[in-house]
Structure formats: structure tokens, C-alpha cells
Amino acid sequence: MDELQELDSRFAQIRKELADNDLTKFRESFLDLHIYEQGQFYQSITEEERALMYSYLSPKELADMFDLIEEDKETLKEYLSEMRPSYAAQMLASMYTDNAVDFLNLLGKKETNKYLSLMSNEDVAEIRELLHYEDDTAGSIMTTEYVSIVANQTVRSAMYVLKNEADMAETIYYIYVINQEEQLVGVISLRDLIVNEDDTLISEIMSERVIAVHVGDDQVDVAQTFRDYDFLALPVIDYDDRLLGIVTVDDIIDVIDEEATSDYSGLAGVNVEEVSENPVKAATRRLPWLITLLFLGMATATLISKYEVLVSEASILAVFISLITGTAGNAGTQSLAVAVRRLAMNDDKKNNFLTIVVGEVLTGLVTGAITGITIFLIVTVWKGNPTLGFVIGIAMMAAITVANLAGSLIPMLMDRLGFDPAVASGPFITTLSDLTSVLIYFNIASLFMSHFM
């Protein structure tokens, strides 16, 4: 709490310096903030105050702050439109290229071309190089600000290169060794440079077995490599082993968050990322799923409608509809979550199609049997009707088994067909399992009708 208050009073102080037009003091206190806090400050002030900031800070100084800002398209457009276009372009050019490209992708083609036309040819080339990579690939999250050296030099000369390039590079903690064809041939960490003698040759101490990712690799696989090896950065190469860029761990944390959010959203059938204060907007985003599922649910209603005569004769059957569909839906959701998770684990040995689906069906049989026996006992005692209990119990067991089959089979099939299995949402599985459960329930009930009435 103390720290937050301290930051608040600092912010108040800086706003005052801005209001007083005290350039020197403002620069001193503002630049003393951590870059993230600079962004917090910037986002907390008025448009007029921001306009003053643009005249007090260089595009490069603003760029450092923008490297850490995460904003939506509208706010970003607003910020950039407040600056003179040439100032904004220079600011974008001074950012780390991967972050600038993220912003430009958000802004769209027209704005991008506007800003690119105001940059130097060199900056445009760098940005264009990254702009064309497909979403969700290593190429789309890499940056070109890395340090590379050649192998036939000493630790001393490598340290000299490093000192000169430190200001430009996103990380200086790994130095990549390339040959004349720009192919990646080795890597050395700054730690290794520091502990070795100044006269040691790089070729002697560099690691020649470099773990690298290909530019077209899925970002999820890149994240897994980071997890496995505990790296802070990974080099990105093309199919001729040429070094194109690096991916840094902060971008990987974003990837991991993004994937987790998308899996979570998938399971719930709602995009939890787009949180809105506006109920109408929120409803607009949720309705497509709800209405689609309503139509799928209509299939279940139509099916029950075929058994209306049965229900009017044995109204007791209506009592257990929601219990059976509900429980089977719960079991199906469990299967779905486990299957999606196992697919995400990316372990080919354990992810055999049959292993997972058969495993889930067997699990369904066991949980179904025990749940079925439980409900059999409950109904027998409650209604004093063992035959009815038997019908409900058997239907429950079958419905759960089929729900587990659907819950595992559907994501597996989607994965095989090249779709993201996480899109098979929990609500979809429960709605589908409503249909199969009702079908099973009424068929079994018709069969034993004469016995329990």
C-alpha cells in the first residue's frame, strides 16, 4: 500500500512539473520512473498533458515506454494521432521492431503505410521484413535486435562488439555466432564471456549445438522449447539455417497467457479476453454461441416431443430428464477438458488417438457404473420402484459413457482435421450430450415401460 501511495504522490508531482512547464524537472523525475511506470503515468493523464510530453521527450524516449504499453486499437490510434505524424513515425521506428510490428498490425494497412512513408529506408526495410510473417508463428513474435559475431575473434573483441551494440539489442545475454553466409553456427552466453579469459577464442568456448526454432514454427511449440530448456531467448532461423531474429522470454509469457486464455474461453464458450462494461456489447458477443446451441438444443426438444405420449403415460420420466442430461454433461465436460489438455501437452507417444478415446470411454464406464448404482439406490428408496431405479441407473451409465466418448472424440477429430481442439467448447459438448442422453433415456424407458408402471 505504501508503495502505491508513494507512486501516486510521484505521479502528482510529475503532473505539477508538467503544468509548471518545468522541462528540466519533468524530464528528471519522469525518466527516473521505471519504464512500466512511465507508461502508467502516460495512460493516466489528459490529452493536453500528453501533448506537452511530446514536446519534452524525444521519440526514442517515448519509444522505450511504448515498448511496454499494451493497448487496444482505438486507444493506440488516439495516442498516435495526438503526435505529429513524423514524430509518431520516428517513435515507432525507435521501438523494438517486434513491438512496432505488433502495433502496426493492430492499426491496419492504411495507417501502417502512412507511418512507413515517413521513416528512413532502413527502418522501413526492418519493419517490412517482420510484417509479412503469419500470425502465431515464430516469425511473428521475433525481433531483429540481437547481437551476432563471427567465431574467429577473442573474448575481448566480442565484449567490445557487445558494448557498442548493447544499446540497440533487446537482449545482450546471448550472443549468436554466424558464418559468412549468415548461417547460425554457435551461441555463447554473456555469462560464458565473463568467466573466460580475455584472450580466449570464441570458437573454443561457444556451444556449437545451438537450439533454434524455424521461422514458420508454431508459437506454441516455441513456448514449449522455452519451458523445456529454461532459456531467456531463442534464435530463429530459416530453412537454410540463416539467422533471422530472436524470440525473447517476455514475448513467450504473452504467448502462454494468450493460449491459456483461448483454452479457457473455448471451454466456456465465450471470449473472456474481450471484457466489456457494456451489457449490450457483451451480449452481442455471447449470443452467436447461445443461439447456435439453442438450435442444437431444439433437436433434443424435437426428440423428446416424439416421446410425448410416453411422458403423458409415465410423467415420472420427466422428473429424471434434467438429472440424466445434467450428469452426463458434467462427465462429458471432464472428458473434454482432459482430452484438450493431453493434446496440448504435445506428447506424441501418449496422444495416440485410440489410447485417449478408449481410455475416456473406459473411464466413462467406471464412473457411469458407480453413478448408475448410486441413482438406482436413490430411486429405489425414494420411489419404492426398483424397476424404475434400474431404468434410470442403466440410462445414466449409458449416457455418461456416450458423453465421455463425445467429449474426447470431438476434440481429437478436430485436432486431426487441423482445427484447434480447444474450440470444442464445454457448452457445445453438454448440449450435444443432452441429445444423446435423451435418446438413450427414452429408448431404455420404452423398453421397460410395461415393467415399472
Task: Please report how close the Cβ of residue 2 comes to its own copies at its closest, in angstroms.
Answer: 11
Let me know if 302 is exposed, middle or buried by CB neighbors in 10 A (0-12, 13-18, 19+): exposed
Task: Please report how close the Cβ of residue 100 comes to its own copies at its closest, in angstroms.
Answer: 16
Task: Please report how close the Cβ of residue 125 comes to its own copies at its closest, in angstroms.
Answer: 26
> Distance between CA 372 and CA 386 in Å, rounded?
13
Task: Please report how close the Cβ of residue 249 comes to its own copies at its closest, in angstroms.
Answer: 6
> Distance between CA 392 and CA 444 in Å, rounded?
9
Options 60, 73, 156, 191; binder of its own copies; rule CB under 8 A: 191
- Window contacting its own copies (CB under 8 A); options: 51-59, 130-138, 166-174, 411-419: 166-174
Task: Please report how close the Cβ of residue 121 comes to its own copies at its closest, in angstroms.
Answer: 28
Options 110, 228, 349, 384; binder of its own copies; rule CB under 8 A: 228
- The count of chain residues that interact with its own copies, using the rule CB under 8 A, is 106
Going by C-alpha positions, the residue among 405, 428, 430 that lies closest to residue 325 is 430
Grid coordinates of 118: 515517413
Options 1, 181, 194, 349; binder of its own copies; rule CB under 8 A: 194
CB-nearer residue toward its own copies: 112 or 219: 219
- Stretch 117-156 residues interacting with its own copies (CB under 8 A): none
Is residue 168 near its own copies by the rule CB under 8 A? no
- Stretch 302-361 residues interacting with its own copies (CB under 8 A): 304-305, 308-309, 311-312, 315-323, 325-327, 329-331, 333-334, 336-338, 341-342, 345, 350, 355, 359
Extended strands (E) in 372-430: none
Query: Which residues does 30 contact at the CB level (< 8 Å), separation at least 6?
Result: 14, 38, 41, 53, 56, 57
In the block, which residue shows the cell 466413462?
364
Q: How far apart are the first and last CA of the chain?
A: 68
Options 17, 217, 263, 415; binder of its own copies; rule CB under 8 A: 263
Task: Please report how close the Cβ of residue 382 comes to its own copies at its closest, in angstroms.
Answer: 8
- Stretch 365-394 residues interacting with its own copies (CB under 8 A): 365-367, 370-371, 374-375, 378
> Distance between CA 444 and CA 437 in Å, rounded?
11
CB-nearer residue toward its own copies: 219 or 327: 327
Options 74, 180, 280, 384; binder of its own copies; rule CB under 8 A: 280
Task: Please report how close the Cβ of residue 257 comes to its own copies at its closest, in angstroms.
Answer: 7
CB-nearer residue toward its own copies: 118 or 299: 299
Extended strands (E) in 190-242: 213-214, 233-237
Is residue 167 near its own copies by the rule CB under 8 A? yes
Task: Please report how close the Cβ of residue 398 comes to its own copies at its closest, in angstroms.
Answer: 15
Options 253, 377, 447, 453; binder of its own copies; rule CB under 8 A: 253
Neighbours of 86 (CB within 10 A): 12
Is residue 300 near its own copies by the rule CB under 8 A? yes
Going by C-alpha positions, the residue among 334, 447, 444, 435 that lies closest to residue 398 is 444
Residue pair 59/94 in contact (Cβ under 8 Å)? The answer is yes
- Stretch 16-75 residues interacting with its own copies (CB under 8 A): 32-36, 68
Options 19, 260, 381, 453; binder of its own copies; rule CB under 8 A: 260
Q: What is the DSSP letter of 134?
A: P
Residue pair 155/200 in contact (Cβ under 8 Å)? The answer is yes
> Distance between CA 376 and CA 394 in Å, rounded?
8
Going by C-alpha positions, the residue among 134, 140, 139 that lies closest to residue 102 is 140
Neighbours of 310 (CB within 10 A): 15
- Window contacting its own copies (CB under 8 A); options: 17-25, 121-129, 148-156, 248-256: 248-256
